[in-house]
């Protein structure tokens, strides 16, 4: 299998109140093309920071992050932005939208930077994505006129608009009720089946249980890993149980 | 506790606090300056008027004088306090040599006189009447200012040697706007000079009751006394003395007023941003039971500290800057008798600014009342959700590049927020354009049209003499033969009498000839075309109570004749009381004869002036451009100085406010910036978006400011210039004002935007995208 992300010996610390806190300590992680990977861990374990450093949104103190053939740790700001825009997609816990644009305008925004002339085609594509996620009729609403779950679906649409190689999700279901959360997960699963690599950070064992592989973090290190394989409908309860058990072990 | 809170807050928001203080400083300094300058100007004029004992009524007269008849009139009129007749020996400029400078090109009527016996003294720099010794010459103060003369230099007047012993102040003729200047010599020297010039008389009266000056004027005219020359009154002397500095004060007042508004806009913006930021905290304070007044005090205390610092430093600055600005007033008119009052008034002005600021903050803080503790804690600031607009759609946009679209869209959807910057840019633009347009207008060649002159190059004048007819023929011949003259027209000024409403007769100076050749600006109406039409100067129109379309009765050679008033125009020369008509009046006494001349090539003015003076020694040739320069030079220079200061101030404001605004905006937009970066927008994209916002507001601001400058500004400038007797002003602008000023503003705005948004690139996605 081809590597899509290869992080080697990543160190990262933050300075707060003149005190340096090590958030990532010698973390190495490899993600393969087409994989659906989840990262779990208690608060402050460094899982979100890992996601931000692997996606080039945050810098590392030392170590190396490679994305396909790009060395992200040596890329400039503009090059990183280009990679994020053209080859990556992001879904955040809070709906990160521009408040003065409509839903559909927010979705086409990353693509409009490079493809202004194809606005018609883009709008059609965005509309199709909205239909796929079941919110086709909300295209022209403002962001404050829809629910959190609907907004998160729109977030997936925006992540998909440039047909990225990988989608990063930072607790994408964290602010949703369980019904909405599952609807979002269904979208991720479908996207993954269509070939897009997905990396999620989550607290939720049921969410993690739907991925192929779960990494467990504690105190800035990856302490354990669980290979679940492809999801089949019957297996989900059993998988959730396995994830929960592992998580309890990690937290102890 | 307050002190600590204030200190922490000031340190945390250094730029904002500093800028707010700076604007309050500037506003206070200007308000205080206006107080100081005004009171000094008024005081100095009063001092000068008192020390020189300016006459209340002055009749200039050339020709024979019936001394006895005048004395009888003065003795017989109950309102006359004192009366005198002074000599004014007019000597042509070429015969006056002051040090290395010859007054040949000087357009003033330079006259020589001795110290007057009873009033209208010529005084020294200490305010005492000067008694020159033999061989001493005292020179009008204006010639010190323009560097024409210096103490101790040798002067040669009509071949006679003098030493310049000092400079004199003259209550009547001090100002460059006054058309005559008086030199002072000893009685003995005066006798020797007498044959070298033409004698004019200044018939002067001081009145017991100044308020009844109009009755006195009428009585003087009714007696048929000497009137061959302009009539002037003490109020006119005061106006002429105060005009140049008055316009400067008016411009400072205008700029000061606008800066007070800008200071308010700054306070409003920063305070509202702060309240929005602190929304939850305010809710918490309310929730735990702090009273509204207590919460207000915390905010008020901070701004009170800033306002106090600003007002104090502004007051200091005004004391420092008032000195150089007072120099001109002091030089021309001496110390003000109210000098000690000026400081008090300045302090009072500063206190007013301080109270205004505090009052305004109180007014802004009233919105605390509407903050609900519960909803503030639950939801935070309501923000501006309600005003966010859907249009224009990005999905319908094909025209604008994405970054420009996002910039413009942001401005459109947060209009209230951007209104602050817009208003500041608009006012800055206004402050830049109005003084410059005023300067351009006054210095443009066509400005003479407002003064009762057309756009002519030369004016050849002749005064009545026995050879007038013969001389007239010679002039006609000479001018008609000259191929370099593009246009020439003869205008004869005649003294006629007109009937007033009450039946009394009043002297009226009528310029007869073709008035369409060199058209002037009419405040209302048009030039007289028919023989039964007449145009009146605005002062005459007021004097006779006439408007366009009314009729006025004038005694001509055909007896009492009615004329229709065809137009009213502004005129500051000849006492401002003139009329224009096309009829002929052979038998009426001619006051003077003018030829208005336009040359093919304006570069030839100097040569042609020389040529005509040589060929026709009996005429006076006036280079009208030079004439205007000498009359208005000082005024134009002070307007230009004010305009340049205004330009720099406006650019500074533009830069500073843009910088402050953009910095606050970036802080406010942290989360949106993080989102844009996360989905792949580069720092350069962000810079472009902010630049687009800046430019978009600038375009609206400059457009609005220009429109405002050309409407409201024109009216304001018109009011200032109306003191010249110019009533209906239209700006004459130069393209560079509308081309270069916006480019300058653009440059400054972009620079400030760039500096102000440089932090946007450093915003961490991870920390801010979650908010």
- B672 touching chain A per CB within 8 A: yes
B393 chain-A contacts, CB cut-off 8 A:
102, 105, 140
Boundaries of every domain in chain A: 3-94+165-251
CA distance B684 to chain A (A): 8
A86 chain-B contacts, CB cut-off 8 A:
680
Indicate the angle between helix axes B14-52 and B292-333, nearest 10 degrees: 40
Tell me: the pLDDT tens digits for B206-243? Answer: 999 888 887 888 788 778 788 777 778 777 777 777 77
Contacts of residue A117, Cβ cutoff 8 Å, sequence gap at least 6: B398
Distances (CA, A) of B316 to A23, B25, B91: 55, 9, 49
**pLDDT of the residue at B451:** 67
Among candidates A49, A98, A108 on the partner chain, residue whose Cβ is nearest the Cβ of B395: A108
Residue to test with chain A: of B408, B418, B678, most A Cβ within 10 A: B678
**pLDDT of the residue at A73:** 92
C-alpha span between A180 and B302 (Å, rounded): 48
Per-residue tokens: B497: 């009498």
Residue position matching structure tokens 């006492």 = B575
CA B277 to chain centre: 45
Taking the alpha carbons at both ends of chain A, their separation in whole angstroms is: 34
- A5 touching chain B per CB within 8 A: no
B390 chain-A contacts, CB cut-off 8 A:
102, 140, 142
Boundaries of every domain in chain B: 1-56+228-383, 64-209, 397-446+625-771, 449-624
Burial (CB count within 10 angstroms: exposed 0-12, middle 13-18, buried 19+), residue B383: middle
Strand B231-233 versus strand B57-62 pairing type: antiparallel
**pLDDT of the residue at B386:** 46
pLDDT level of residue A28 (50, 70, 90 thresholds): very high
Decide: B579 and B537 in contact? Cβ < 8 Å.
Answer: yes
C-alpha span between A195 and A205 (Å, rounded): 24
Per-residue tokens: B336: 């003000």
State yes or no: pLDDT of B751 exceeds 50.
Answer: yes
**Cβ–Cβ gap B679/A110 under 8 Å:** yes
Largest Cα–Cα separation, chain A: 56
> Scanning every residue of chain A, which has its alpha carbon at the shortest distance from the alpha carbon of B393?
A105
CA distance A152 to chain B (A): 13
Residue position matching structure tokens 């004002």 = B737
CA distance A251 to chain B (A): 25
Q: Could you tell me if residue B261 is left (phi over 0), alpha (psi between -120 and 50 degrees) or otherwise beta?
A: alpha
**pLDDT of the residue at A25:** 94
Helix or strand or coil: residue A76?
coil
B770 chain-A contacts, CB cut-off 8 A:
92-94
Residue to test with chain A: of B401, B676, B680, B692, most A Cβ within 10 A: B680
Task: Look at the alpha carbons of B187, B107, B479, B588 in this order and tell me if their dihedral is positive or negative.
Answer: negative
Q: What is the dihedral of CA B431, B435, B438, B439, to 10 degrees?
A: -150
Q: State the DSSP H helix or E strand holding residue A90, giving kind and residue range, or none if neither.
A: strand A88-91
pLDDT level of residue B504 (50, 70, 90 thresholds): confident
Decide: B141 and B167 in contact? Cβ < 8 Å.
Answer: yes
C-alpha span between B738 and B328 (Å, rounded): 32
Residue B552: beta bridge partners? Answer: B563
- A92 touching chain B per CB within 8 A: yes
CA distance A225 to chain B (A): 25
> Scanning every residue of chain A, which has its alpha carbon at the shortest distance from the alpha carbon of B764?
A58
DSSP state of B713: I
Contacts of residue A96, Cβ cutoff 8 Å, sequence gap at least 6: A90, A155, B671, B674, B675, B678, B769
Contacts of residue B270, Cβ cutoff 8 Å, sequence gap at least 6: B13, B16, B20, B660, B664
pLDDT level of residue A234 (50, 70, 90 thresholds): low
The ipTM is 0.89
Residue to test with chain A: of B398, B679, B685, most A Cβ within 10 A: B679
Tell me: the pLDDT tens digits for B726-744? Answer: 666 677 777 778 888 889 9
C-alpha span between A65 and B412 (Å, rounded): 41
Mean pLDDT (whole number) for B365-394 = 69
Tell me: the pLDDT tens digits for B412-459? Answer: 988 888 988 899 899 999 988 888 888 888 787 777 777 667 788 888
Contacts of residue B366, Cβ cutoff 8 Å, sequence gap at least 6: none
CA B692 to chain centre: 37
Among candidates B385, B393, B398 on the partner chain, residue whose Cβ is nearest the Cβ of A102: B393
Among candidates B383, B396, B680 on the partner chain, residue whose Cβ is nearest the Cβ of A110: B680
* Level-2 CATH architecture, domain A3-94+165-251: 3-Layer(aba) Sandwich (3.40)
> Scanning every residue of chain A, which has its alpha carbon at the shortest distance from the alpha carbon of B762?
A77
Among candidates B390, B671, B680 on the partner chain, residue whose Cβ is nearest the Cβ of A86: B680
A78 chain-B contacts, CB cut-off 8 A:
682-684
Residue position matching structure tokens 């000094």 = B40
Per-residue tokens: A246: 């592992």
Helix or strand or coil: residue A147?
coil
Tell me: the pLDDT tens digits for A43-79? Answer: 889 999 999 999 998 889 999 999 999 999 999 989 9
| Percentage of chain B exceeding pLDDT 90 | 24
pLDDT level of residue B748 (50, 70, 90 thresholds): very high
* Mean pLDDT of all residues belonging to chain B: 84
Decide: B208 and B216 in contact? Cβ < 8 Å.
Answer: no
pLDDT level of residue B674 (50, 70, 90 thresholds): very high
A104 chain-B contacts, CB cut-off 8 A:
395
> Scanning every residue of chain B, which has its alpha carbon at the shortest distance from the alpha carbon of A159?
B679
Backbone phi and psi for residue B165, each to the nearest 5 degrees, phi listed first: -90, -20
Taking the alpha carbons at both ends of chain B, their separation in whole angstroms is: 31
**pLDDT of the residue at A41:** 92
Among candidates A86, A93, A108 on the partner chain, residue whose Cβ is nearest the Cβ of B770: A93
- B762 touching chain A per CB within 8 A: no
- A213 touching chain B per CB within 8 A: no
**Cβ–Cβ gap A98/B676 under 8 Å:** yes
Tell me: the pLDDT tens digits for B258-298? Answer: 888 888 888 888 888 778 778 877 888 778 877 888 888 88
Decide: B198 and B90 in contact? Cβ < 8 Å.
Answer: yes
Contacts of residue B280, Cβ cutoff 8 Å, sequence gap at least 6: B376, B377, B380, B381
Size of interface A-B (CB pairs under 8 A): 108
C-alpha span between B252 and B357 (Å, rounded): 20
Decide: A65 and A50 in contact? Cβ < 8 Å.
Answer: no
Decide: B79 and B214 in contact? Cβ < 8 Å.
Answer: no
Mean pLDDT (whole number) for B30-44 = 87
- B417 touching chain A per CB within 8 A: no
Q: Is the peptide bond before B392 cis (omega within 30 degrees of 0)?
A: yes
Per-residue tokens: B676: 């844009």
Strand B579-581 versus strand B505-513 pairing type: parallel
Burial (CB count within 10 angstroms: exposed 0-12, middle 13-18, buried 19+), residue B702: buried
**Cβ–Cβ gap A84/B678 under 8 Å:** yes
Per-residue tokens: A235: 């297996």
Name which of B13, B769, A46 is nearest A7 in CA terms.
Answer: A46
**DSSP secondary structure, B72-119, as one string:** HHHHH-TTEEEEEEEEEEE--GGGEEETTEE-TT--SEEEEE---SSS
Contacts of residue B436, Cβ cutoff 8 Å, sequence gap at least 6: B643, B646, B647, B737, B741
Helix or strand or coil: residue B259?
helix
**pLDDT of the residue at A89:** 93
pLDDT level of residue B379 (50, 70, 90 thresholds): low
Rg (CA), chain B: 33
């Amino acid at each position: 299998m081809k590597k899509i992300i290869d992080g080697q010996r990543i160190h990262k610390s933050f300075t707060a109140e003149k005190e340096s806190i090590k958030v990532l300590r010698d973390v190495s992680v490899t993600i393969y093309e087409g994989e659906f990977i989840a990262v779990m861990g208690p608060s402050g374990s460094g899982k979100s920071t890992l996601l931000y450093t692997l996606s080039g949104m945050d810098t590392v103190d030392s170590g190396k992050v490679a994305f396909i053939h790009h060395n992200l740790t040596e890329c400039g700001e503009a090059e990183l932005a280009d990679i994020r825009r053209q080859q990556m997609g992001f879904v955040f816990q809070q709906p990160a939208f521009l408040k003065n644009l409509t839903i559909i305008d927010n979705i086409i925004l990353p693509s409009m930077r490079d493809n202004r002339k194809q606005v018609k085609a883009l709008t059609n594509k965005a509309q199709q994505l909205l239909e796929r996620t079941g919110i086709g009729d909300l295209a022209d609403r403002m962001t404050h006129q829809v629910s959190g779950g609907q907004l998160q679906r729109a977030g997936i649409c925006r992540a998909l608009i440039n047909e990225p190689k990988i989608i990063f999700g930072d607790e994408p279901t964290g602010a949703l009720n369980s019904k909405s959360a599952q609807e979002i997960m269904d979208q991720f699963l479908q996207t993954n089946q269509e070939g897009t690599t997905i990396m999620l950070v989550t607290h939720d064992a049921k969410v993690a249980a739907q991925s192929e592989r779960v990494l467990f973090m504690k105190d800035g290190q990856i302490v354990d890993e669980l290979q679940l394989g492809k999801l089949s409908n019957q297996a989900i309860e059993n998988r959730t149980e396995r994830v929960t058990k592992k998580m309890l072990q990690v937290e102890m | 506790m307050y002190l600590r809170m204030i200190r922490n807050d000031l340190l945390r928001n250094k730029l904002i606090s500093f800028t707010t203080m700076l604007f309050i400083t500037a506003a206070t300094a200007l308000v205080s300056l206006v107080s100081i300058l005004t009171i000094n100007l008024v005081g100095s004029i009063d001092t000068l008027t008192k020390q020189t004992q300016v006459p209340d009524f002055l009749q200039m007269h050339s020709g024979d004088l019936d001394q006895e008849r005048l004395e009888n009139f003065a003795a017989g009129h109950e309102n006359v306090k004192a009366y005198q007749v002074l000599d004014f020996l007019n000597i042509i400029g070429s015969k006056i040599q002051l040090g290395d400078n010859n007054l040949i090109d000087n357009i003033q009527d330079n006259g020589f006189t001795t110290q007057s016996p009873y009033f209208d003294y010529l005084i020294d720099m200490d305010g005492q009447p000067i008694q020159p010794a033999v061989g001493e010459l005292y020179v009008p103060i204006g010639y010190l200012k323009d560097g024409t003369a210096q103490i101790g230099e040798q002067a040669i007047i009509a071949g006679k040697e003098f030493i310049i012993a000092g400079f004199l102040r003259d209550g009547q003729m001090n100002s460059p706007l006054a058309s005559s200047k008086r030199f002072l010599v000893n009685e003995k020297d005066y006798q020797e000079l007498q044959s070298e010039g033409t004698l004019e008389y200044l018939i002067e009266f001081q009145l017991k009751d100044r308020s009844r000056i109009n009755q006195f004027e009428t009585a003087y005219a009714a007696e048929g006394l000497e009137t061959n020359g302009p009539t002037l009154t003490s109020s006119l002397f005061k106006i002429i003395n105060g005009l140049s500095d008055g316009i400067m004060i008016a411009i400072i007042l205008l700029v000061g007023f606008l800066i007070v508004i800008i200071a308010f806009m700054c306070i409003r913006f920063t305070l509202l941003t702060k309240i929005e930021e602190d929304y939850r905290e305010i809710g918490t304070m309310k929730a735990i039971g702090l009273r509204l007044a207590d919460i207000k005090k915390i905010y008020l205390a901070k701004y009170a500290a800033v306002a106090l610092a600003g007002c104090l430093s502004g007051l200091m600055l005004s004391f420092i800057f008032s000195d150089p600005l007072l120099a001109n007033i002091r030089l021309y008119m001496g110390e003000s008798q109210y000098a000690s009052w000026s400081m008090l008034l300045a302090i009072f002005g500063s206190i007013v600014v301080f109270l205004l600021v505090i009052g305004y903050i109180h007014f802004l803080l009233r919105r605390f009342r509407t903050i609900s503790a519960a909803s503030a804690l639950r939801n935070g600031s309501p923000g501006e959700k309600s005003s966010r607009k859907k249009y224009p759609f990005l999905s319908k946009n094909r025209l604008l590049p994405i970054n420009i679209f996002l910039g413009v869209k942001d401005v459109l959807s947060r209009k209230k927020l951007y209104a602050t910057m817009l208003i500041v840019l608009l006012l800055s633009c206004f402050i830049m354009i109005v003084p410059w347009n005023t300067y351009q207008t006054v210095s443009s060649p066509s400005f003479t049209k407002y003064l009762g002159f057309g756009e002519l190059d030369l004016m050849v004048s002749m005064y009545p003499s026995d050879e007038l007819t013969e001389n007239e023929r010679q002039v006609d011949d000479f001018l008609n033969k000259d191929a370099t003259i593009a246009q020439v027209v003869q205008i004869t000024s005649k003294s006629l009498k007109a009937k007033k409403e009450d039946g009394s007769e009043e002297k009226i100076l009528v310029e007869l000839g073709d008035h369409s050749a060199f058209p002037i600006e009419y405040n209302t109406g048009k030039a007289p075309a028919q023989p039964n039409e007449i145009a009146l100067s605005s002062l005459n129109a007021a004097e006779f109570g006439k408007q366009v379309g009314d009729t006025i009765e004038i005694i001509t050679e055909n007896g009492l004749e009615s004329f229709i008033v065809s137009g009213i125009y502004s005129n500051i020369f000849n006492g401002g009381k003139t009329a224009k008509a096309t009829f002929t009046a052979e038998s009426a006494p001619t006051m003077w004869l003018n030829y208005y001349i336009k040359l093919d090539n304006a570069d030839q003015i100097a040569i042609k002036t020389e040529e005509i003076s040589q060929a026709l020694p009996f005429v006076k040739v006036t280079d009208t451009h030079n004439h205007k320069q000498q009359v208005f030079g000082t005024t134009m220079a002070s307007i230009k100085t004010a305009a340049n200061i205004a330009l720099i101030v406006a650019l500074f404001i533009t830069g500073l406010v843009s910088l402050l605004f953009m910095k606050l905006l970036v802080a406010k937009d942290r989360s949106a910036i993080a989102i844009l970066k996360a989905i792949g927008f580069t720092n350069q994209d962000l810079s472009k978006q902010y630049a687009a916002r800046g430019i978009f507001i600038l375009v609206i601001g400059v457009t609005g400011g220009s429109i405002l400058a050309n409407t409201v500004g024109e009216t304001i400038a018109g009011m200032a210039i109306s003191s010249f007797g110019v009533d209906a002003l239209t700006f004459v602008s130069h393209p560079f004002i509308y081309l270069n000023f916006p480019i300058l503003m653009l440059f400054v705005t972009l620079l400030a935007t760039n500096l102000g948004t440089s932090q946007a690139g450093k915003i961490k996605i991870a920390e801010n995208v979650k908010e």
